[in-house]
Amino acid sequence: MKISSMSEATARFWTVIFGAVTACSLIAGGVYTLVQYFDARSKDRHASEQQSAATALASRQTYNNQLLQLCSVIGQTAAQVANNTGGVRDAEINGFRGFLASLTLYADQPVLEAGKEFDDCVRSQAAGALCSLDDLAKKLNLACRANVRKAFEVDSH
């Protein structure tokens, strides 16, 4: 049985071919590794940002709950003042003013302005002027609603 052998030129040819395939494979593997690395970094950064946003929301939860509670109470009190004309109204007005003072620690400017407008209308009605408490109570409730929605948003980029 005859064992075949390659000529020197053929051996060099196949050595070059296998070397080229090996070099291309190493380059492709390196590119793939870099792509995987940067993709993993991007996913880790995104996950970290979401975790940070959730943690920030959780840390603000007590503050946000107090805002929600005060907005709810002040909205109900404003509606009661707007719809009541009896002697209980004075107590409700004083309660409204107390809640409005507490709300200054938690609420944004539009809520405080709406509350002040409502209080000014109550004072001007006591002096005989006409203004719509119902409309101002609705405005106050809408401002509170927007403020609470904004407070409970999760900041994600």
Q: What local confidence, expressed as pLDDT, does residue 89 receive?
A: 74
Q: What is the pLDDT along the chain (157 residues), one digit of tens a residue?
A: 566 788 889 999 999 999 999 999 999 999 999 999 999 999 999 999 989 888 888 888 888 999 999 999 999 999 888 887 665 677 888 888 888 888 888 889 999 999 999 999 988 887 778 888 899 999 999 999 999 999 888 765 4
Q: Model-level pTM greater than 0.75? A: no
In contact, 81 and 92? CB cutoff 8 Å:
yes
What sign results for the dihedral spanned by CA atoms 53, 55, 60, 65? positive
